[in-house]
Structure 1
């Protein structure tokens, strides 16, 4: 919705005309219309607080920002959330396989992306006794995966052809339309973000038919080939609430701290992080409450 400037401005005008506004973003969705919002909104856009790595990249890739952006995406306070989100992804993927009478074991898993979420997913699958293959376009991350004992694919396409479960955790486009026919017959595909970020389903070769293969499981098939997509390509852990317990409050508190930074004003139109001192206060307050 916010990719269209007119729609974005109208949305803001009907809800906060004339007000000073902080935009809370979870994926960089305001980025395409941010210039129009800052120029045409009757109030004042004080800035944006971005929560995700994918959104962080979208704002960072812009040549010029029209307002300050505070990103919490790379904060150490997000590390517990990222670790637990990885666990919830594995839980939900396994639950969907089991409802079809399948299990993880004996099904090599390919993890695309070895960032915070991808590494968490790989570790948990390994603990469960699943053979894990890792691929990342960044050779530094591939070296990190290898140092942690994971099998690292030299060739992504060959790894896809062997994997019975493909988990997309790149925060960018993981599988293009032409990649899907390379999947092993009967492979399951799941993502940790939205399908529009990770999967080019619109690029599937003609001839593929989509059918339901159970609740939250779709079967794509054509002559001689088929694969399964979990939760329509959306984040698979959202099926079971994606809960990370009270650790989410660490991130939410930092989002509030970012909003406070913007509300105080005086920031240039650039990217910022919440100061370390504020993060320490948040962590100490959280520990005082939860570590009794």
Structure 2
């Protein structure tokens, strides 16, 4: 591997960049990839992306970077830095999350950046290619080496699809848990900051805000824990799977249905990644509601459909808040515009837990591309042995583990 790399967009992000880069290099060092491999990589437009992207670009012949819209809108200048990375190209306008819901658009994207029978790998994040997966794998059955997906909501979008090649998920690995809890802390912190900046409110303004959390996975539990750490003890939690709720009452949290929560709460954290709130929840609302999500309003509310069917009407907003009204003229305030509530703010490399899930995603992709693996067609997880390998390497690089 060459030592030439671009790891930072600004001086203040450099603290962990080199260390993270070397760690990811170590994860990748034993893999040889096919000549002329093209990688389609869906990633956040964060500075924390740069070490990962640099390692990827040193391994592949060409990397097509598809920025996730939530962070691209707030960090578009970072694309200028990304474009300086050798072998890296930002995807052409028009191939965004909404457009890729059309399978024909997905096929067109692959055709634009590959030649006949040229091998390619998809590193997905949030199921961007899920709607077109069957068309891609049928059209390019010999060229596509497989798909690696980073998130649980992304994997859910691939379920019940006929996949002719392996899809390796790293969504539910135990080593992803620290980053999920870090994300939970960030989301609560920045939700508080948005409320203060835009409304003059604080999360712990008892009497003004009553808080509910939909979803009790890693992110939902982390948000509850962080809220309690801020002195907020009257919390409501719902989940489609009642098994997940059984641990909540012993922690002083009220369990309920989503409908009951909406009767009691005016601030909702949506932590499912897949349809936390539905049309019926919002069209009958008669009081204002604040909504924060851990993914996006598309995933958690199906916002385009709510607008299309007239349930919500856009009023206005900015990078911190977007306001919609329903038929009863109740305002629905989407904090961070409906994206994950930490996306309006800068994310650098100061948290090494970011590199755990990046390493897992990278390793899954390298295994697929090297074609020296035991994966079958369809969805499966990275192995426990691989997860242990990543954890040991990470502990050595960042915490002198031996």
Question: TM-score, normalization: structure 2?
Answer: 0.67
**Residue from 358, 361, 366 that aligns with 1:260:** 366
Distance in 1 (alpha carbons) for counterparts of 2:310 and 2:251: 40
Structure 1 residue 190: deviation in Å? 1.1
Question: Which residue number corresponds to residue 240 of structure 1?
Answer: 345
Structure 1 residue 215: deviation in Å? 4.5
Query: Structure 1 residues 282 and 215, CA, compared in 2 at 3 Å: closer, same or farther?
Result: closer
Query: Structure 1 residues 223 and 279, CA, compared in 2 at 3 Å: closer, same or farther?
Result: closer
**What are structure 1's unaligned runs of at least 5 residues?**
none
Distance in 1 (alpha carbons) for counterparts of 2:393 and 2:298: 37
Q: Secondary structure at the match of 1:2?
A: helix
Greater CA drift, 139-148 or 94-103: 139-148
Question: Which residue number corresponds to residue 195 of structure 1?
Answer: 297
The aligned runs of 1:1-292 (5 Å cut-off) are: 1-17=99-115, 18-41=117-140, 44-62=143-161, 64-99=162-197, 100-105=199-204, 106=206, 107-130=209-232, 131-153=234-256, 155-183=257-285, 185-201=287-303, 202-203=305-306, 206=310, 209-212=313-316, 215-221=319-325, 225-241=330-346, 245-265=351-371, 267-292=375-400
Greater CA drift, 212-221 or 137-146: 212-221
Q: Secondary structure at the match of 1:83?
A: helix
Q: Secondary structure at the match of 1:70?
A: strand
Does the 8 A contact of 1:25 with 1:48 survive in 2? Answer: yes
Structure 1 residue 85: deviation in Å? 0.7
**C-alpha RMSD over aligned residues:** 2.2
Structure 1 residue 11: deviation in Å? 0.9
Does the 8 A contact of 2:306 with 2:312 survive in 1? Answer: no
**What are structure 2's unaligned runs of at least 5 residues?**
1-98
Does the 8 A contact of 1:184 with 1:227 survive in 2? Answer: no
Does the 8 A contact of 1:220 with 1:228 survive in 2? Answer: yes
Deviations 1:80-125 (CA, angstroms, capped at 9, x unpaired)? 1110111111111111100121111112210001011111111111
Query: Structure 1 residues 290 and 225, CA, compared in 2 at 3 Å: closer, same or farther?
Result: same
Higher helix share: 1
Structure 1 residue 145: deviation in Å? 2.0
Structure 1 residue 42: deviation in Å? 8.3
Q: Secondary structure at the match of 2:100?
A: coil
Does the 8 A contact of 1:21 with 1:44 survive in 2? Answer: yes
Greater CA drift, 38-47 or 203-212: 203-212
Q: Secondary structure at the match of 1:6?
A: helix
Query: Structure 1 residues 262 and 209, CA, compared in 2 at 3 Å: closer, same or farther?
Result: closer
Greater CA drift, 103-112 or 2-11: 2-11
Distance in 1 (alpha carbons) for counterparts of 2:216 and 2:388: 27
Does the 8 A contact of 2:322 with 2:337 survive in 1? Answer: yes
Structure 1 residue 268: deviation in Å? 2.1
